[in-house]
Each structure stands twice: as C-alpha cells, then as structure tokens.
Structure 1
Amino acid sequence: MKDAAPTARVTHRRRDHGAAQCVLDEAVREGGVPGILAQVRDGGGHWTGTAGVADTRTGRERGPEDRFRIGSITKTFTATVVLQLAAEGRLALTDPVERWLPGILTGKAAHDGTTTTVRQLLDHTSGIFNYTHDQSALRSQESCTPEELVAIAASHPADFPAGTGWAYSNTNYIVAGMIVERVTGRTLTDEIADRITRPLRLTGTSLPLATDPTLPSPHARHYTRLFSPDPDAPVHDATELDTTPYWAAGGMISTVGDLTRYFGALLGGQLLRPEQQRELLTMVQTQNWLPRSTYGCGVSRLLLPSGTAVWGMGGALFGSWSYVYGTRDGTHMLAVNINADWTEGRWQDPIGIFTDLLEAEFSYGCALGFALP
C-alpha cells in the first residue's frame, strides 16, 4: 500500500491543528488504515488535513472533496426533517406510530404501534428490535424495501416496552423515514434535499435512490474486512454498495466540508425553531453503545476521557467510518472519515482514532466549560 504524504490545507486558521495532523499521520503509519480525511470548521474558517490514500491501486491521495458513505450520521438528517415537520404542525412527537403507519407494528411480537411515539423512535427508547441484528434475513434478498426491513424487526420480540429502556435500533429510523413520506407525500430524498442540502449548499451530500449503488466522484474507495477482527482477513472493495438495507438509518453520502457546515448550522439553531432545538438536545442515557454518551434526536453527546463534552454523531458502513462532533453551539466542529473499517496497533477500531482526534482538537474545552452538561 502506498503511503501518501500528509496534506494540510488552511483557510483563516485561528489555532494550530498540528496535534490533529499527528493523529491522522499515525492512523496511517501505525493504525494501518488506507487513508483518513478530516476538517475543522472554527471561527469562520476551516482547516483540512489528510494522510494516506483514497485508492490503494493508483496511490491517489485523499482530498477534501472526497465523497463517502456516512452510515448512521444519516439519522441526524432524518431527525431534522421530522423535527421541522413537528414545528410546522404536520405531526407531533407524541403521535403514536399507529397514527401514521397503521398496523406496521401493532400486535407483532410484542411491538405496539399504539404506544410507541415518534419521539421514542428518534431517541431510541421505542424498544423496537434492530433489524440489522438479523443478518441472515438481510442476506436472503438482494435488496430491501423499508416495509421489508420493518417486517424483519417485527418478526422478533421487542427489546422492552416502549419508553422503559434504551437500545440503539436502525429500525427506529426506517420507521421515522416512512412517517416523513406518509406525512409529506414525497420521498425522504426530496425532503432532505429541499429542507437541508439545497438551502445549506451541501453539494456533496445526498440520499441516493434505491437503484443507485455508486458513489459520485471524486470519492475514496471503501475497503472492508467485513468487520472481521482477524488482521489477516481479506480486504474487499465495497465502494459500490446496495444501500437499501440502510436508507433513512444509514444510506447517505457526504463530505467532511458538508458535514461540518450542516452540524454547525443544526447545533447553531439555524435549522430548527427553539422548541424543536430543545427536543434535539434533550438527552437520554445510552446503554451498550458509545462509552459515556447520551442521545437526543439523532444527535449524541460524548464525554471524552479528558472530561470535554462534544455533540454530534458517528456512522459506520462497510469500508467507511465517520465522526462529526464539536461544541454544543456548533461554532467549532470536526468531521473525519476513514476509508476502511479496521485499525491496527494500539487502536481496537476507528473510534479509538476518532477519540484521539477529538481530544487533540477539543481537550482545551474543559477550561472553557464545554464539559458541563
């Protein structure tokens, strides 16, 4: 594998990002990832750093305009649309799922659409089984409709009665996406484009149509070991991927620049009215998820080992792991992507790299009070 020279691009840099660049370099040199790309947006300017390659065959370096699959960061976009619809009075977060999707859950393996609310979908307190835990069912068909994904989940017992616990479930956001389409009569793809990506000029961000497995150019190749912990596991190219099993829960494409701009606008209160902004950031304690984390409506809060708190979301799909986190007011954001789903050396997985990168960029925050709830 060719080890491309690290690259840094700076526009109106307000503070030094040398420590962040060191983490990127080490991720390639010691962590064994093909390539890594990060952007910091802070004080009206931005810094972009890279290390490694976008394509191991050609040796092309990672670039700031690279598109990549963002996995569960898609959930934040879906939640934003739902919260905007709530602000418009077109739905209420207290609405039961049954109101919008009659019969999709009720009476099926202890799931109950009459008591499960829209809010519980968004903050993962619904108890609905996570369909991605049934890989045999997903592998049994070439592509999946949202209805089929929910049917997989509904064939399993609920994790707990709605509102009585917390469990991360991709099914929640498939159902939320279906509700968006039922309420609006339009596709979720169009709603995200009209409400978020076009107004913010996120030109590298989209929710692809079900029939499109490609990544727009420029993009990094996505390399996967199929989440095997074996360091000698074969590496597959997953750049072209059927994303129908992920859709509203994890099917989107973006860039680091678009992600820092979007989360800066969202956390900064530019996309939601005050009532919905409070809902976005009303957190519940997570269980068996990211350490020291809480979860709101498509947004999570992480407490870093240093005690610094950051707000944002992460996502992982075959061959692509991403994080975008920053200050609660969105004025200082960092987005990062690795075009692989493994690490070597001292890190167990890409989250370890991302944590070190966040510490390098935000650890001074304890003195500024960002660690406060």
Structure 2
Amino acid sequence: MNEISRRTGLTAAAAALLAGTAAAPASARAPRPPHGRRGRALQRGVDAIHATGASGVLAEVQDARGRTTARAGVADLEAPGKGPVPWGAYYRIGSDTKTYTATVVLQLVGEGRLKLTDTVERWLPGAVRGHGNDGRRITVTNLLRQTSGLNEYITAESGDFTPDAYRRNRFRSQSPKEQLAAALAEPPQWLPDAADPVGERRWGYSNTNYIVAGMLIEAVTGHPWAQEVHERIIEPLGLRHTLIPGTSSYVPQPTATGYTYFPEETRPTETTLGFGGGADGCLISTTHDHGVFLRALLGGRLLRPAQLAAMKSTVPVRDWVPADGVRYGLGIASRPLAGRADGLWFHGGTSLGFVSEGGVTPDGATAVTTAAFTLRLENEETHRRQARAALRMVEEVLKAGF
C-alpha cells in the first residue's frame, strides 16, 4: 500500500513510555494528496526501499515552504489488516543520535566550558585505561570524529547474534560504564598521534566514542546527558515527538512493528522491543522532528559559526558502504551530490527493527528523512540493496524541485 501526503512536536512522560504510548503527532491525522516533483520523487524512493524487502517505510521532505510525506508497506506483517505505517510514526533513529550528542558538546565548546583539544583524561580521570588504552592520548575531537582508536563495545559484547539471544536480552539495559568496560577489555585499534592527536587521520567507527562523549557532557555540566540534550535541543526546537527512553525497551504509539533478518535467517524476527544504548544511539523520534533538527543545525540555529565550521571539518572514510566519497566530521558526515558542488550532510542510524536515513543541504534549507521498519542482516547483498535504495531516495529528492 503506497500513499503520499503534504503535511503542514515536549518529551513524553516516563509513564507513557513504559506503557508504550505517547501523544500522536497532529500530522498523523491529516494526509493530503501527492504534490510536486519532490513529492513524486519521495514516493518513488519510498516504493524502492519497500521493494527491497522492508515491511514498511515512511519518509518526509521539508523546507521553509512546507513538507511532503510518503509511505509504503504495512504496519505489521502478521496483521496486514492493521493498515499502512501510521503517519507520524515513532521510530528509533539509532546512530543519528550521535549528531545530537556532538551538537551538545560543541555548544559547550562555544560557551568556553570545554575545548576540542581537551583530553578524555582531563574530564574523566582514569576512565580510559587498561590493555593499552590511554585517555591521555584521546581528545574531544578524536571522540566526535571517530579517530580515537577505541574498540566497539557492541562487537566486544555481542557474542551470540541470533533471534533467541535477542529475546533473552531485549529488556537488558547497560550503564555507560559497563559499555565502556566492554570496549576496554582489549587493546585499542590504535592510539592517536601523541604529538598531534587532534590531527589524527586514522578513522574507525565505534559507538564507544559517543558513550564517552555522553560521560564527558555529564562531567562538564554536572547533569545527565539526557537532560542536556532535552534542554539544549529538544525543548528549544519544539521537538515534541523526540524521546529519550532511558532504560525503557518500548517505542511509543503510533509506530509500526520493527523486524530484523538476523544473519543467515530466511524469516524476519519481530524486534520492536529493545534497549537502544545511550548517547551513541538511543533517541526515538519521527521523520518530521528529525528533519526539523537537521535544518536547524545546518541552518546555524544550534551552533555558533566557529563550532559549526568545526563540525564540518572532516576526514576521509574508506569503508562507508555503499556510499562513495564520504567524509566524517564531528558527529556528521558529508558525501557528494550530483548537481550540487557542496554535496549534502547526513549521518544515518540502525537499531534492531529500524533503519534511519536522511540528508540535509549545507545551508539547512531542505532536509529529507526516512524510516524503514526492517533491518536486513541475513547477508551483505540484501543489506546493501536496502541501504542503496535509501541513499538514492535522499539524493533524488534533494535534487528535485517542488
């Protein structure tokens, strides 16, 4: 089932999260007919993602003139009679959370409370030590740019990655200290250059970097990471449907069932429930709210010019599949876009049952955001096929006019 609409945001209470419910976005109730070249490009892209095997897909493009939303597929494979993915559905944005975390860190830098050249040891004495790991050689820049060499805590502790293991662990939460300890149990991939750690060019994606960044925010401010994200980003931007779930494993309603094809599995497993991490990937949002955030960030509403420029200072990435020419900055990445010399900015995120992809123009004028409610990991080709379809959709929509 394919539909498209043109659509003209306080965090839910903890009790609502525990019940798996929250106030439905007003946009969920007012779909309108297809409109314009961008609307048609968005629908084509959503259909293409759905055709790769995603159970349901929801996407939005927005700029100062308005927004257009498209959807495809169903909310639940086992109960297709429930209908399509709800307009305004909540979903886990996964590693798109990192851009929010980096924004808070850079705000603290702009306020003079922190320096990008500060070491982890300066703020978290002794926290990154053992097995050759050394917080004295890792700066704030290294954390945000993924050039620290810290190991991936998820890989270190994942072990049995199967449907049964998921069911056993879906209500198990972890503290940042536990996550960091898992990453420090082995020697690092490398240590940044002692003479110039900020200038380190070796790059390796690790969620651990952002676990440490969240701990650093708490050390600098005396407040939990979640409080700083809420008070500095969610509340000022009016992101009324962006949630910080804490240790809750639930996604509020309205949403769609999330599915994961585990490695070598031929049938999807329902994986809507689960602990999503912390400062590295826990946020729950909507396509509209996340687009508002991206436009505000690139449009200069959240960071001072110097800090936004620092965020856009990138290093090359050689293993970001399937995109070519990706460069990673401080919590955000860039890639080329045909027809635009300045390309586009993005991050993207996955969690069990959810895939978040998007892109925003360098001036923040236009943002595209999408949620797919199926994560395909059964083999490399199906995973890449879905990822390529999402990347193409973002690029085609950003190139299309209204």
TM-score (norm 1): 0.88
Aligned with residue 128 of structure 1, among 150, 154, 159:
150
Instruction: Classify the secondary structure of the residue corresponding to 2:310.
Output: helix
Q: Which residue is equivalent to 1:260?
A: 291
Cα RMSD of the aligned pairs, angstroms, is 2.4
* C-alpha spacing 1:239/1:137, structure 2 compared with 1 (3 Å): closer
* C-alpha spacing 1:137/1:236, structure 2 compared with 1 (3 Å): closer
Question: Which structure 2 residues correspond to residues 71-220 of structure 1 after superposition, within 5 A?
Answer: 71-106=94-129, 108-134=130-156, 135-136=158-159, 142-162=172-192, 163-210=200-247, 212-220=248-256
Amino acid aligned to 2:254: P
Task: Say whether 1:40 aligns with 2:61.
Answer: yes
Q: CA shift at 1:302, angstroms?
A: 1.6
Q: Which residue is equivalent to 2:5?
A: 8
Write the distance in 2 (CA, Å) between the matches of 1:289 and 1:109.
28
**Do the aligned residues in 2 keep the contact of 1:93 with 1:117 (CA within 8 Å)?**
yes
Percent identical residues: 36
Q: Which residue is equivalent to 1:316?
A: 350
**Do the aligned residues in 1 keep the contact of 2:4 with 2:68 (CA within 8 Å)?**
no
Q: Which residue is equivalent to 1:359?
A: 395
Q: CA shift at 1:15, angstroms?
A: 4.5
Question: Which structure 2 residues correspond to residues 9-28 of structure 1 after superposition, within 5 A?
Answer: 9-11=6-8, 15-28=37-50
**Do the aligned residues in 2 keep the contact of 1:302 with 1:311 (CA within 8 Å)?**
yes
Write the distance in 2 (CA, Å) between the matches of 1:234 and 1:126.
38
* C-alpha spacing 1:284/1:215, structure 2 compared with 1 (3 Å): same
Q: Which moved more, 1:65-74 or 1:155-164?
A: 155-164
Q: CA shift at 1:305, angstroms?
A: 6.9
Q: Which residue is equivalent to 1:371?
A: none
Write the distance in 1 (CA, Å) between the matches of 2:160 and 2:353.
22
| Residue segments in structure 1 that go unaligned for 5+ positions in a row | 366-373
Write the distance in 2 (CA, Å) between the matches of 1:332 and 1:118.
30
Write the distance in 2 (CA, Å) between the matches of 1:23 and 1:16.
10
Write the distance in 2 (CA, Å) between the matches of 1:316 and 1:23.
19
Q: CA shift at 1:300, angstroms?
A: 0.5
Write the distance in 1 (CA, Å) between the matches of 2:53 and 2:175.
36
* C-alpha spacing 1:19/1:223, structure 2 compared with 1 (3 Å): same
Question: Which structure 2 residues correspond to residues 229-248 of structure 1 after superposition, within 5 A?
Answer: 230=264, 233-243=266-276, 246-248=277-279
**Do the aligned residues in 1 keep the contact of 2:38 with 2:400 (CA within 8 Å)?**
no
Write the distance in 2 (CA, Å) between the matches of 1:305 and 1:273.
29
Q: CA shift at 1:359, angstroms?
A: 2.9
Amino acid aligned to 2:364: G
| Residue segments in structure 2 that go unaligned for 5+ positions in a row | 9-31, 193-199
Q: Which residue is equivalent to 1:348?
A: 384
Write the distance in 2 (CA, Å) between the matches of 1:113 and 1:84.
22
**Do the aligned residues in 1 keep the contact of 2:49 with 2:390 (CA within 8 Å)?**
no
Aligned with residue 93 of structure 2, among 61, 70, 73:
70
Q: Which moved more, 1:58-67 or 1:129-138?
A: 129-138
Q: Which residue is equivalent to 1:31?
A: 52
* C-alpha spacing 1:27/1:207, structure 2 compared with 1 (3 Å): same
Task: Say whether 1:332 aligns with 2:329.
Answer: no
Q: Which residue is equivalent to 2:21?
A: none
Q: CA shift at 1:23, angstroms?
A: 2.2
**Do the aligned residues in 1 keep the contact of 2:37 with 2:400 (CA within 8 Å)?**
no
Instruction: Classify the secondary structure of the residue corresponding to 1:259.
Output: helix
Instruction: Classify the secondary structure of the residue corresponding to 1:247.
Output: coil
Write the distance in 1 (CA, Å) between the matches of 2:305 and 2:246.
32
Write the distance in 1 (CA, Å) between the matches of 2:335 and 2:182.
31
Q: Which moved more, 1:339-348 or 1:49-58?
A: 339-348
Write the distance in 2 (CA, Å) between the matches of 1:67 and 1:313.
18
TM-score (norm 2): 0.82
